Every structure is written in structure tokens, then in C-alpha cells.
Amino acid sequence: MTLENGETPPNDGLAHLHKAEHDLEKAIEKEREAEREIANAESEIKEAIREEEEEARHFTVEVPYDGARKKFEVRVEETVKQLLDKALIAFGPLPAPHTLALFKDGKELSDPLTIKEAGIKPHDVLLLRPSTVKGGA
């Protein structure tokens, strides 16, 4: 605001300064709120990644045997033998269980391999059938 003589009233500069300070305070508060939102979003992303990694390490597979189908929870670090043992118990009692093995895509899975090493993925169907290698009395 200017006076008739073109001069600025003495309080205009002060009012302008107060408004600028007020605007600065509002901007700083908005910045703090944005920083909180960023921190929350980063936390949610970390949790989602952790959950995704956990899901990738723990999943379900299906094993059919003699007309029945059963689902099994597996972890990538457990062995094919551990899954085979779970299946034998679930379908048991079976005649000559020591001769049975798990197969994926027509190939027999080696007992000492981990689920990950054997290439077993979520929702895979693994057949339980007589082994081409095993045998015994």
C-alpha cells in the first residue's frame, strides 16, 4: 500500500514481514508432514518387501497319489526328503514307502536337494510314485 505522496506506510513493511514469517512457518509444517509421510511410506515398503520375501521362502505345493491330492506347506531351505516324508505320512500307511519318490515334470527329485535347489515353485504339482533308483527289501 502506498500513500498519496508515494511513500509506504511504516507498518506495511512490518505487516509484509509478519505475513512472510507466517507463510514460512506454514511451509515448514508442510515439509515436516511430508517428511512424516515419506517415513511412513518407506516403512510400509520395507514391510511389503519383507512379507514378499517371506512368501517366496514359504509356499504350498500339491502332491497327488493314488487318486488323492494333498497340499503341503514347504520352505525353500527344507529338503526334498523332508517333503517326501510329510507326503508318506499324509498318504500312509503305504506299502513299501521306502521305494517311493517325488517327481517334477517327469524327473525324479533327489532327496538331499533343498526345495529351492530342486526348482520347486509355489503351486507346483509333484507326483508321488515308485522311484527309478530306490529299491530294497
Each domain of the chain, given as residue ranges in start order, spans 58-130
Considering only residues 121 and 95, tell me which one the structure prediction assigns the higher pLDDT: 121
Q: What is the pLDDT of residues 30-83, one digit of tens each?
A: 999 999 999 999 999 999 888 777 766 889 999 999 899 999 999 999 999 999
What fold characterizes domain 58-130?
Ubiquitin-like (UB roll) (3.10.20)
Q: Tell me: pLDDT of 136 over 80.
A: no
CB 96 within 8 A of CB 135: no
Alpha-carbon distances of 47 from 40, 41, 52, 56, 76, rounded to whole Å: 11, 10, 9, 14, 20
Per-residue pLDDT, 51:
79
